[in-house]
Structure 1
Amino acid sequence: MRRALQFDRLDDCVAECRSLLRTGYLQNGNWTLAQICRHLRLTIEANLRGYPAWMTVLGFPLRPVLRRWMLPRLLAGDSPSGVKTAGMFVPDSALNDADEVDALSRCVEQFLAHSGDLHAHPGFGRMTHEEFGRFHAAHAAHHLSFLAVAEPRSA
């Protein structure tokens, strides 16, 4: 069962990841905390460094539809589940939660400190730094909503 989760800022997702590390979590989807953190980091890094050309070419024809219909759903916390992602964004299964939370934290810091241009999203196009921040925060909330806080053990 997914939990309702929304982040006002991108760095709120890092705080949530650190909290899940402390409390433990129950996995209600396909990915562990480490896998989610790796996926989020890879997508933020692509925004900073660039997406492969093939993604931009394939995404371009669908961009108006995705930007008009899917982006508002994602930003409102109503992102559909089960949408396949490009293989380059699918994380390995043998990852360490703490290491990946730390790597995501460093990546988010880099994103927040970035003052240059950001690369257009293949499906949603160009956005301002603030818009991309909201996009990445909503994306993080979507994935982290599949992890439930572990119930405390009774003594």
Structure 2
Amino acid sequence: MQRRTVLKGAAVGGAVVLGAGFWALPTGVAPAALTLEGAQQALVALATRELTSLKGWSPSEVFNHCAQSVEYSMDGYPQLKPAWFRHSVGPLAFSVFSARGAMRHPLDEVIPGAAPLLEPASTVAAIARLQAALVRFDAHSGDLHPHFAYGALSHAEYTQAHVLHLYNHLSLIRVVDQSA
């Protein structure tokens, strides 16, 4: 009985925190439309530029991480959060991100059980990997695997999750000013 009370309390507490966090999410302009096409356009615009990261992961690690997330939605995530999380806090967080049209999450947090973010090492190749993953995802007509935190998502919901995820990471990526 105590376990159920603790879980209910955690879910209610999570809802309060997420509800308050809704208003703290960024409201700035997204780098492109909140679509796969918009994400591809943003990547094309970055692919030929020298990029730097304001903090945390290198640009190639960021693009490899985003590619992993897209690939895992089709192939299966290596590890999932507990079922109670994927049926309560996770979907609630996604609904807040979806309603706000923006995501905020720790930008240096790896996907549980994911491979290291080292390959491909070049930014151009990592962007190409992400572009290929997005093309594959767009054409994917089979079942999708549950998200490691959000649980079961439809193709449209996953599309939104992938785009918001990428745009959240792009908030730390900058084009290097060649004139300086």
Give the TM-score band, short-chain normalised. Answer: 0.7 to 0.9
Aligned-partner residue type, residue 40 of structure 2: V
Judge conservation of contact 2:63–2:126 (CA < 8 Å) in 1.
yes
Gaps of 5+ in 2: 1-25
CA distance in 2, matches of 1:32, 1:18: 18
Q: For residues 40 and 137 of structure 1, do their structure 2 counterparts lie closer, same or farther at Cα, with a shift above 3 Å needed? A: same
Could you tell me how far 1:60 is from its partner in structure 2? Answer: 1.4
Q: For residues 97 and 8 of structure 1, do their structure 2 counterparts lie closer, same or farther at Cα, with a shift above 3 Å needed? A: same
Q: For residues 144 and 46 of structure 1, do their structure 2 counterparts lie closer, same or farther at Cα, with a shift above 3 Å needed? A: same
Judge conservation of contact 2:64–2:119 (CA < 8 Å) in 1.
no
Provide the residue aligned with 1:151 in structure 2: 177
- Counterpart check, 1:103 vs 2:126: no
Provide the residue aligned with 1:71 in structure 2: 94
Provide the residue aligned with 1:115 in structure 2: 141
Could you tell me how far 1:72 is from its partner in structure 2? Answer: 3.1
Aligned-partner residue type, residue 53 of structure 2: Q
Larger Rg: 2
CA distance in 1, matches of 2:43, 2:83: 33
CA distance in 2, matches of 1:104, 1:83: 18
Could you tell me how far 1:81 is from its partner in structure 2? Answer: 3.0
TM-score in terms of structure 2 length: 0.71
Q: Secondary structure at the match of 2:82?
A: helix
- Counterpart check, 1:33 vs 2:56: no
CA distance in 2, matches of 1:83, 1:25: 17
Provide the residue aligned with 1:84 in structure 2: 109
Q: For residues 20 and 116 of structure 1, do their structure 2 counterparts lie closer, same or farther at Cα, with a shift above 3 Å needed? A: same
Q: May I ask how many residue pairs the two structures share in their alignment?
A: 149
CA distance in 2, matches of 1:84, 1:37: 13
Gaps of 5+ in 1: none
TM-score in terms of structure 1 length: 0.81
Could you tell me how far 1:82 is from its partner in structure 2? Answer: 4.8
Deviates more, 1:128-137 or 1:75-84: 75-84
